[in-house]
Amino acid sequence: MSYEKKKERRTYKRIKKKDKALAEFAARVVLLKKSHLLFGVDEDN
């Protein structure tokens, strides 16, 4: 496998990993906001 192909593959894996982490973070934010709405948690605390 050529150097360029390896580099491309590594870049793709990094992007995929970061995309997954971003999706997980977004899901956590949504769940946190929903829990605040359901349980009335004050934003200042």
Q: Are the beta carbons of 12 and 6 closer than 8 angstroms?
A: no
Residue-level pLDDT at 3:
93
pLDDT tens digits, 3-25: 999 999 999 999 999 999 999 99
Ordered DSSP codes for 1-45: --HHHHHHHHHHHHHHHHHHHHHHHHHHHHHHHHHHHHHT--TT-
Q: Are the beta carbons of 41 and 35 closer than 8 angstroms?
A: yes
More confident residue, 30 or 45: 30
Question: In the structure, what pLDDT confidence band is assigned to residue 1 with cuts at 50, 70 and 90?
Answer: confident
Whether the model pTM is above 0.85 = no
Can you tell me the distance from the alpha carbon of 16 to that of 22, in angstroms, rounded to the nearest whole number?
10
Residue-level pLDDT at 42:
66
